[in-house]
Structure 1
């Protein structure tokens, strides 16, 4: 089982491909049970807030594709984390045909904005629920059918964790998990499936029935449940206190720890308070999340150099952190977690590069 993270523009546009541990060798394209998520696509044109006098951003690096039709497969899910145009980019999203089959899942202000374009079928655009501990309805769930008639369904879950009193409206995290559909293989031939009784899909509420009870984070393999891949996407950063309830309930009950990948900024970005104050938490915020969730990989997000102009960015201050600096911060240890317990791979992906994380 693996997760492949590909950067499409060197910034916050990523293609996530979740792959199951096994699949028939004859299957074309993606393995049955694979699932693809397109994050915040911005491939063409500038990002303008209000007007070009207030704020305009242009990418310095060329995206590895110029049109969404260049993707190998239509994504299963398109995830939009903000309503601002560098995340919810109308010109790029309109590259998708109105009759596309991809589900668009966006935080509520972004979903409202996308619906206002009247480009996509309304039933394809969904508002991302805000996570509430113990509430099964606060997690968006997608059932993955097994590749053969005899097997058990998998599941993808997505939820939104916004910060409290966030002036800039950019600090939040999106939690994603992927549990593949299961089929039992013959020990004699890994390409042949055993004929087992059909397993019904899990009840949508079942993973959350014990979410309200006190829990301790225990990374696999010490958790004996079937393993699950997990991602935290927080390009601007958010306090770990916001993520903790989700981690200690949903991620624990799904056997989704250690965290497979953290997509989080390295660089700290500050504006004057009247322009939002802190814009990007950078490495200090990411370190706390990586340590507490035993992240296997930390991938830079929202750190690409851009040509930023306009009144809103005249007083912006950026504190840059290179990959080696972030590695050194991790190696210094954090509280009771010494450098010997942290094996996080730190990665900065240029446009077109990808990183693959395996989980046995």
Structure 2
């Protein structure tokens, strides 16, 4: 079993693909892919462009969702803001052709998407707080070895922690090997970061005396607004996760140097960490096992191992 993650832009749009163990064939039967927060082109205003507007500065790997082949099995929208829940990008997906694809959205985003009246709402699942959603993955080559996903929407715990921004999606991939041994690969996607208090219940269900987290998709850059408080927790929030769990790989997320326009742009302060500074500061804090990565657009990373849950 393995996981591959491809950065489709240099911001928060990732394509994650889970692979069943190779059968020696060249087919991709058994692969299962998740597209996170697709925003590929056009601007992304909040309320009104004069208030806040963002544009990409790096050309994404694809110009449209129509160029993805094969189509993703799931599309997840983790936030309601337009740079995560992007109308022009999402509306390009051909739902009538790709009948197996489903969309999962956080509550605020689902309300916006329903208002567009652009696809069958029966194919959208609305995340509920701390609700664990199981998705079975067919294994036609070895039906006796089931695989499945567990998804969980994790909002901030307290109202003053800006729950509209500070949330996470927990993704666990399970595969049953011979002799009923189950392995798991875990991924945490939190594009604005999230207070550690909200994550502890999810961490408690990870394996290991110290919870083992395979992949962390989290920003390096810290962003603060004098109008709205902390926009992105950046490295300091990520460090808390790395102290609480054994993180295998931490990929920079939502850190693109975008064109930011409007009234809000003059009220932002940013503190930037590159990969080298992240690694150095992790080491200074006693975190030595975590590998920090900055994926270029189109770049793909493969994680080849899972954690054994039972023997």
TM-score for the superposition, normalised by structure 1: 0.79
TM-align CA RMSD: 2.0
Structure 1: stretches of 5+ with no match in the other structure: 132-137, 185-198, 200-224
* Number of positions where the alignment pairs a residue of Structure 1 with one of Structure 2: 302
The equivalent residue for 1:174 is: 169
The Cα shift of 1:182 comes to 4.5
2-structure distance, mates of 1:45, 1:80: 17
Query: Once superposed, which parts of structure 1, at least 4 consecutive aligned residues long, lie more than 6 Å away?
Result: none
Indicate yes or no: 2:68 matched with 1:71. yes
The equivalent residue for 1:111 is: 110
Show CA shifts across 1:302-349 (max 9, x none).
11000000012221111111111100111113xxxx44xx31110011
Structure 2: stretches of 5+ with no match in the other structure: 307-311
Instruction: Tell me which of 75, 80, 85 is aligned to 2:82.
Output: 85
Show CA shifts across 1:173-209 (max 9, x none).
110001135468xxxxxxxxxxxxxx9xxxxxxxxxx
2-structure distance, mates of 1:346, 1:322: 9
Q: Contact 1:80/1:87 (CA < 8 Å) preserved in 2?
A: yes
The equivalent residue for 1:293 is: 245
The equivalent residue for 1:153 is: 146
The equivalent residue for 2:295 is: 349
Structure 1's 149 and 349: CA in aligned 2 closer, same or farther, altered over 3 A?
closer
Q: Contact 1:152/1:181 (CA < 8 Å) preserved in 2?
A: yes
Indicate yes or no: 2:2 matched with 1:2. yes
The Cα shift of 1:291 comes to 2.5
The Cα shift of 1:25 comes to 2.5
2-structure distance, mates of 1:149, 1:19: 14
TM-score for the superposition, normalised by structure 2: 0.91
Instruction: Tell me which of 249, 255, 258 is aligned to 1:306.
Output: 258
Instruction: Tell me which of 253, 263, 270 is aligned to 1:318.
Output: 270
SS of corresponding position for 1:295? strand
Q: Which has the larger radius of gyration?
A: 1
The equivalent residue for 1:38 is: 35
More strand by share: 2
Instruction: Tell me which of 263, 272, 287 is aligned to 2:217.
Output: 263
